[in-house]
C-alpha cells in the first residue's frame, strides 16, 4: 500500500465519498463473455442515470457544506454530482473511475450482473486480460485519496464515484488517519463520511 502523508493538523474538512445513482443499463441481459465485455464498454460505462432520480437530501447537505465537489469522468458519476450539487463547479478526474471488470473467457450465457461477479473475482485474483490490473488500480486509489486529502486542507470535500473503487480507497484513507464516521453502505446513492483523526 502506498504511503500517504496525513492531512495537516489544522482541522481539515471532512471527506464524503458517494456512489453514483442507478445507471440506465440492463444488468439482466443474457450474454456470453464476449457479449459482457461489449456490454461493459458500450452500454454500462457510457450509461447516463435512469431519469427521475433525486439525490438524498442528507447527501445534498454534505455538498452544501463542501468546498470542492469531485466526480469521475464517467457520465453516471458526473450526473450524480450534478444532482447532489446543482449549479456547482465540478472537479472531474479520471482517477476516480470504476475499476475494470474484464470477464473471464468462460463458456455459457449469464446475466450481465452475474458476469460482473465472475469478472470481479477473477480480476481480484490477477486476471486483468490486458486491462488495468488490481495492482494498478490500487496505485490509482492511493493517488485519488491523496488528491482528496489535499483538497480537504481547504475545506470539506464530496466525491461522487463508483462502488468498487470507493472500496479500494478506504484502506488508503484509514492508513492516512481518516476514520469513517458515517457508513451508508454500498447501494446506489449511498455515501460514507470520513474525518481526520490522526492527531
Contact 103, 36 (CB under 8 A): yes
Domains and CATH numbers, the chain: 15-196 (3.40.50.1240)
Percent with pLDDT over 70 in the chain: 94
Distance of alpha carbon 91 from alpha carbon 96, whole angstroms? 11
Mean of all residue pLDDT scores within the chain: 95
Grid cell locating 173? 484513507
CA nearest neighbour of 37 among 110, 87, 139, 95: 110
Specify the length of the chain in residues: 199
Q: What pLDDT score was predicted for residue 61? A: 98
Region 67-72: mean pLDDT is 98
pLDDT at 92: 98
Cα separation, 7 vs 104, in Å, equals: 40
Phi and psi based region of residue 51 (left: phi greater than 0; alpha: psi -120 to 50; beta: remaining): beta
The SS3 of residue 151 is helix
Determine the pLDDT at residue 30: 98
| Cell, residue 53 | 432520480
What values do phi and psi take at 72, rounded to 5?
A: -70, 170
Q: In this structure, what C-alpha cell is assigned to residue 71?
A: 466526480
pLDDT band at 2; cut points 50, 70, 90: very low
Q: In this predicted model, what pLDDT tens digit does every residue of 35-53 receive, in sequence order?
A: 999 999 999 999 999 999 9
Instruction: For residues 59-80, give the mean pLDDT.
Output: 98
pLDDT band at 143 (very low <50, low <70, confident <90, very high): very high
pLDDT on residue 7 = 44
Q: What is the mean pLDDT of residues 132-152?
A: 98
Alpha-carbon dihedral 144, 149, 151, 152, rounded to 10 degrees: 140
CB 36 within 8 A of CB 100: no
Amino acid at each position: 500500500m502506498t504511503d500517504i502523508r496525513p492531512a495537516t493538523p489544522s482541522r481539515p474538512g471532512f471527506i464524503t465519498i458517494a456512489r453514483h445513482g442507478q445507471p440506465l443499463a440492463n444488468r439482466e441481459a443474457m450474454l456470453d463473455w464476449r457479449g459482457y465485455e461489449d456490454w461493459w464498454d458500450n452500454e454500462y460505462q457510457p450509461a447516463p442515470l435512469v431519469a427521475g432520480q433525486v439525490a438524498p437530501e442528507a447527501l445534498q447537505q454534505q455538498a452544501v457544506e463542501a468546498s470542492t465537489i469531485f466526480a469521475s469522468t464517467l457520465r453516471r458519476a458526473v450526473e450524480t454530482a450534478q444532482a447532489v450539487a446543482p449549479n456547482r463547479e465540478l472537479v472531474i478526474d479520471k482517477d476516480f473511475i470504476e475499476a475494470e471488470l474484464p470477464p473471464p473467457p468462460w463458456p455459457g450465457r449469464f446475466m450481465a450482473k452475474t458476469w460482473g461477479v465472475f469478472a470481479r473475482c477473477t480480476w481480484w485474483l490477477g486476471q486483468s486480460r490486458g486491462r488495468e490490473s488490481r495492482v494498478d488500480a490500487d496505485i490509482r486509489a492511493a493517488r485519488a485519496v491523496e488528491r482528496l486529502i489535499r483538497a480537504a486542507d481547504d475545506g470539506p470535500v464530496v466525491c461522487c464515484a463508483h462502488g468498487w473503487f470507493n472500496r479500494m480507497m478506504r484502506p488508503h484513507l484509514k492508513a492516512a488517519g481518516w476514520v469513517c464516521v458515517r457508513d451508508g453502505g454500498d447501494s446506489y446513492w449511498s455515501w460514507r463520511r470520513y474525518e481526520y483523526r490522526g492527531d
